[in-house]
Amino acid sequence: MKLKTIILLILISLTLGCISQNSEFVNGIIPITAQPPINETPIIEAPINNETTEAEVETTHDTIRIGAFNVQVFGVTKASKPEVMNVLADIIRTYDVIAIQEIRDSSQTALPALVDLVNSDGSEYSYVVSERLGRTSSKEQYAYIYNTQTVSISNASVYPEPDGTDPFHRQPFIASIEALQGNFDAVLIVIHTDPDEATEEINGLDYVLAYAQSQNQEEDDFIIMGDLNADGSYFDEDSTSELDAYHWIIDDSQDTTTKSTDYTYDRIILTDTSKLHGEHGVLRYDLVYALSQEQTVSVSDHYPVYVEFRVNGDMDE
């Protein structure tokens, strides 16, 4: 991880820790106080310059942070664990919009509870959620959770598979995003592929992109993201696909798994990189919040991924 990223993550964690300490949490939930990572990590050796700190904070309103997170069987069981929910809320608050995957909750209560917790510190996040998707009785939903103070989300809809076809177990969830300050806009496409058919589904995303482009003909910025299962036995990183023409900014060397395995399952693919500003990569929340391995995997088997864009300089409609 780049030094700048590490410093920024520490700053974010410290900021969130301060906010959490001053907030009133419902139902007696005690927020986890973010701690700097323990000794002997490269992070603690990073010199933190106060001037850099202020500069970083001041520039954050010029950028928006977008990303995706497979929260691994997010439902009532996870929602009943305050220590997990508080980490999720802290993570979500670092994003302007985050595409949540693997919501498995027939009660439809876990996601609203999470967003309520996010907002318990005075934040104003909202969400759009897909229908329950899947070919079997095990259904999943996607959601975009977003900061209503910085972005708007519109036109959220599930990719309409052509009549007589069924290319995806959980067809992608598409939405438009617009920065409230500046002129950045883009179309978001999130998918959690089925591991057993990851290669077929990844190659099928080219059709989803073409569909989204047909619906947004003036737009240049399309962001495909999520747990594509794009590594290991599910997908050959060295293979070619129609999407090779675009920018896989979570590259093959990244590890998006919280366990000891080293796979780049989670990806962000951009059609246009001209508005990139700041960092992109894997959010190591275990380091940011100084979590044990046990605490880390209780949140998810995946790390979130993220990318930052400048809000000015978008020339498309």
Residues within the interface to Ca ion (CB under 5 A): 166, 168, 171, 185, 221, 231, 252, 255, 257, 264, 314, 316
Nearer to Ca ion, 242 or 316 (CB): 316
Q: Could you tell me the two tokens for 309?
A: 């864009």
User: HSE of 88 in the Cβ direction (CA atoms, 13 Å)?
Assistant: 33
Nearer to Ca ion, 56 or 316 (CB): 316
Which residue in 125, 132, 144 sits closest to 104, CA to CA? 132
**CA atoms of 157 and 165, how far apart (whole Å):** 18
Rounded least distance, CB 187 to Ca ion, Å? 8
By three-state DSSP, how is residue 263 classified? Answer: coil
Rounded least distance, CB 68 to Ca ion, Å? 17
Rounded least distance, CB 257 to Ca ion, Å? 4
Among residues 192, 277, 280, 302, the one annotated as catalytic is 192
Nearer to Ca ion, 236 or 252 (CB): 252
**Are 299 and 73 in contact, with CB atoms under 8 Å apart?**
no
**Are 305 and 285 in contact, with CB atoms under 8 Å apart?**
no
Which residue is at the shortest CB distance from Ca ion? 264
Nearer to Ca ion, 121 or 266 (CB): 266
Residue 140 falls in the annotated catalytic set: yes
Rounded least distance, CB 165 to Ca ion, Å? 8
Residues in CB range of 268: below 8 A, 6 or more apart: 67, 68, 223, 224, 225, 248, 249, 250, 280, 305, 306, 307
Among residues 40, 45, 131, 140, the one annotated as catalytic is 140
Residue 192 falls in the annotated catalytic set: yes
Cross-strand bridge partners of residue 173: 158, 190
Nearer to Ca ion, 124 or 317 (CB): 317
Cross-strand bridge partners of residue 276: 309
By three-state DSSP, how is residue 309 classified? Answer: strand
Rounded least distance, CB 115 to Ca ion, Å? 26
Active site residues: 140, 192
